[in-house]
A = this chain, B = another copy of it.
Amino acid sequence: MNELLPSAERIAARLKARGETLAVGESSTGGLVCAALLAVPGASAWFLGGAVVYTVKAREALAGITAADMAGMRGATEPYAALLAERLRARHGATWGLAETGATGPAGNRYGDPPGHSCLAVAGPRALAVTLRTGSADRQANMRAFAARALALLEEALE
């Protein structure tokens, strides 16, 4: 988590200076993005809430994404990351939404994506999406790499 802290601190400073807020949706990073952000003192001024969405049930219960919303869409894609970011943003009334969805490993996911594949998106005043491929099957290393990329993407949006 410590390696993520400098990025989290820059995000915190920018959000605080602007009076903006954030909600987060995570899949394969599993809570690591939220934990890095919330390690910054005073985070309650700008962090509203986060969802760790690991199942279809959680997708609906926590983010309000229904089967109809998913028509023509699957997990671990940029459009799904963008939808998750937007739904969490709207649900919390936040300025920004940040979301991640991917495959950490050691195996690939049920869609055929290899471990190390992650899609990340920011929703809000600027919308960004990116796909990352680490080439690694190391689960914990991928969680950290995906989380670092998620924070970097939000930093880009906040520039």
Q: Enumerate chain A interface residues (CB-CB to B < 8 A).
A: 1-2, 23-24, 26, 28-35, 37-39, 41, 43-44, 47-55, 57-58, 61-62, 91-93, 105-106, 139-140, 143
Contact = CB atoms under 8 A, between A and B. Distances in A.
A35 B31 CA distance: 5
Secondary structure call for the A interface: mixed
Interface-centre pick from A47, A49, A143 (highest chain B CB count, 10 A):
A49
B52 A52 contact: yes
A51 B54 contact: no
A24 B52 contact: yes
B92 A39 contact: no
Contacts of A140: 1-2, 39
